[in-house]
Amino acid sequence: EGRETKEGLILVAEDSHHLVIAEANAETDFVVQNDRFKHFLHDCVKQALEGRVRSLADLVQQPYYKDKSITIDQYRNLVVQSLGENIQLRRLEMISKHPNSSYGIYSHMGGKLVVVVEITGAADQDLIAKEIAMHIAAENPEYLKPEEVPATVMAREEDIARSQVEGKPANIVDKIVAGKVKAYTDQFCLVNQKYIKDNSVTVQQFLEACAKKVGKSLSIKCFWRWKVGQ
């Protein structure tokens, strides 16, 4: 139980009303690739989805659906004994689906990195949402849009920018600082990033082009980017 668990897998499961993301960890990738470990994570996600579990703390105390004489945590202990490594359920999130939203799921590196994207405006555009999820996996945005960047972060970036233009004429300092701050938001805000498959447009412009094709107003509501151990 005290050994470090740096390896792991992330798994997503969904039905028509909910979506679950969960991460389980072990000490070595050898155990992570073992079928017993994979079955354990699959069972946990299945139980969380079917039982509408809201937190990891709730899940581990539930009776295991295949053997109600033990809890999920006791099931985990049996897997630990079987595989000889510390195994932990690290995190879990239950996402409630909205009837007018589409959900894109992208799993990369065999479940080491998973992205989920929610797009509002239509319930049948999962493929567009998945395209954006693939972009997020590659480009790792920290925020959805500039308005979501914390004021403290923006102030820090302004201070850095001003320190880089000391000694320049006062009438151009503000323009340079504004340009550097915009460059920061273009790099770290999803909607401002250059779209990975076509860097002539931003992610926002890509989405607007898709919306025009399908005749619906689409917007990115939120995203989840989970990396093992992050």
Mean pLDDT throughout 114-142? 98
Closest to 98 (Cα-Cα) out of 224, 225, 222, 226: 222
The burial of 196, by beta-carbon neighbours within 10 Å (0-12 exposed, 13-18 middle, 19 or more buried), is given as middle
Question: What is the tens place of the pLDDT at every residue in 132-159?
Answer: 999 999 999 999 999 999 999 999 999 9
Global pTM value: 0.92
Average pLDDT for the chain: 96
Looking at residue 1, its pLDDT comes to: 79
| pLDDT of 131 strictly over 80 | yes
Question: What pLDDT does residue 108 have?
Answer: 96
Q: What is the pLDDT of residue 165?
A: 84
Q: Residue 106: is its pLDDT beyond 80? A: yes
**3 state SS of 23:** strand
Interhelix angle 203-214/126-139, nearest 10 degrees: 170
pLDDT of residue 164: 86
Q: What per-residue confidence (pLDDT) applies to 174?
A: 85
pLDDT at 186: 96
Question: Dihedrals φ, ψ of 215, to 5°?
Answer: 70, 30
